[in-house]
Structure 1
Amino acid sequence: MKGYSIDKMPEKHARAQVKETDISLKDAVNVAHFIRNMDLEAAKNALNLVVEKKMAVPYFRYLDSVSHRKGIGPGRYPVKAVKSFQKLLDDVSANAEFKGLTDDLKIFHISASKGRMIKKFTPKAYGRAGANFKDLINLDIVVIENEKE
């Protein structure tokens, strides 16, 4: 299982990855924290509301100058990051369908981590150069079937 941030996989699971996507790490960490432990359909609906800017993602980390939103505290609408997470959720639901898992799925594990760094340089006056580095982000998710009660 090279490349996953979880060691022990549950018996019946589906997983997916998005590697080296160009989104903000700060937004990705907060969106991952927002949808962690949600049902898959609830997470998809919540992310659709964020894209429509009807619901904000509550920020729990990187709170410097983050405005408060009504009812949730500090939060933002990270639409670009949410679109990458929507692709991730679509991929994992297709993988679960292929494995024959039910529609009642729960997010068991989700993470956002740094990928590789793209290093660029901008020429400046007097023969100098300014660094322009860009971090790419890796996303991975594992879903399991909800227990029947």
Structure 2
Amino acid sequence: MATNKGYTTVSDPDTSAKALSKEQPVSPKFAREVAGLIRGMKVSDAQKTLEGVIAKEVPVPLKRYNKRVSHKQGVGPGRYPVKASKAILAALNSAASNADYKGLDSANMAISTITISRGMVIPGHRPRAQGRATQWNQETVNIEIIISEVE
């Protein structure tokens, strides 16, 4: 029995490629919102969208925890999560490279699965007055992308 090394199960390994990026120092909230934005898109469209978010031209709509967030034109409450977009773009480019290596046409592929899960928390502290300290931890995420050929 073969193990999948932490990946979600792939329906057809002959027509799909995958990439896993672990322990990325990114906010889990923003990573989930960016993943929801590009889920189901073709690879080339998703890359353009993520580059637009990095350039602060395409806003990412915030579906949850969006109180007191200013509205962006056409999407409602939204922001430009650059750090999360860069991490997800790197994972997407890795999946596209894996598809090219397998002999698949990455231009004719779409994101079938994109999963964001919490990684480990890197402990830290911030010095405060009177010799005290406050927790100042760094959250990480695991990004998993599976792309498959479009019929």
| Common fold: TM-score over 0.5 | yes
Relative to structure 2, which stretch is displaced further, 116-125 or 27-36?
Answer: 116-125
1:117 aligns with 121
Task: State TM-score, norm by structure 1.
Answer: 0.90
Query: Per-residue deviation at 1:125?
Result: 5.1
| Matches for 1:99-138 after TM superposition, within 5 Å | 99-102=102-105, 103-124=107-128, 128-138=132-142
Q: TM-score scaled by structure 2? A: 0.89
Flag the 1:126–1:85 CA change in 2: closer, same or farther, 3 A.
same
Between the two proteins, the alignment pairs up a number of residues equal to 146
1:7 maps to what in 2? 9
Q: Partner of 1:94 in structure 2?
A: 97
| Matched letter for residue 49 of structure 1 | G
Q: CA RMSD in A?
A: 1.6
Within the candidate set 71, 74, 86, 1:71 is matched to 74
Q: Does 2:62 correspond to 1:62?
A: no
Aligned-partner Cα distance in 1 for 2:71–2:144: 29
Amino acid aligned to 1:55: V
CA shift for structure 1 position 109? 0.2
Matched residues in 2 for 1:72 and 1:38: separation?
18
In 2, the alpha carbon distance for the partners of 1:74 and 1:121 equals 32
Task: Give structure 2 stretches of 5+ with no counterpart.
Answer: none
Rate the CA distance shift 1:110–1:13 in 2: closer, same or farther, 3 A. Answer: same
Q: Give the superposition deviation at 1:132.
A: 1.8
User: Structure 2 counterpart of 1:72, which letter?
Assistant: V
Change (3 A) 1:125 1:68: closer
SS in 2 for 1:60: coil
Gaps of 5+ in 1: none
Seq. identity, %: 39
